[in-house]
Amino acid sequence: MSRFTCMLVVAPLPDGKTWATVQPFGYDGGGVRIKLEIGFQTDFASIPRISWIFLPKWGKYGQDHLVR
């Protein structure tokens, strides 16, 4: 059975585009284990630069459009 090991808790960094985990987070499933340590950074939308032609790095899925 696949499962997340806990809730994903992140905080925004000063650059306004990057987020960092504030507690460990993981996933177990299908023989795959992923573990993120405190401080892992993500922008939640990284894609190869060439793809920006078709799908901008920031759009309706970015943090500016999150429900608050």
**What per-residue confidence (pLDDT) applies to 64?**
52
**What per-residue confidence (pLDDT) applies to 67?**
47
The tokens for 54 are 């078709």
Question: Are 19 and 11 contacting, i.e. CB atoms less than 8 angstroms apart?
Answer: yes
Query: Alpha-carbon torsion 36, 10, 20, 66, what sign?
Result: positive
Specify the DSSP class assigned to residue 30. T
**What per-residue confidence (pLDDT) applies to 26?**
92
CA 27/CA 3 separation, integer angstroms: 6
CA 48/CA 10 separation, integer angstroms: 23
**How sure is the predictor about 1, in pLDDT bands with cuts at 50, 70 and 90?**
confident
pLDDT in tens, 15-61: 988 999 999 999 998 888 989 999 999 888 776 777 667 666 556 65
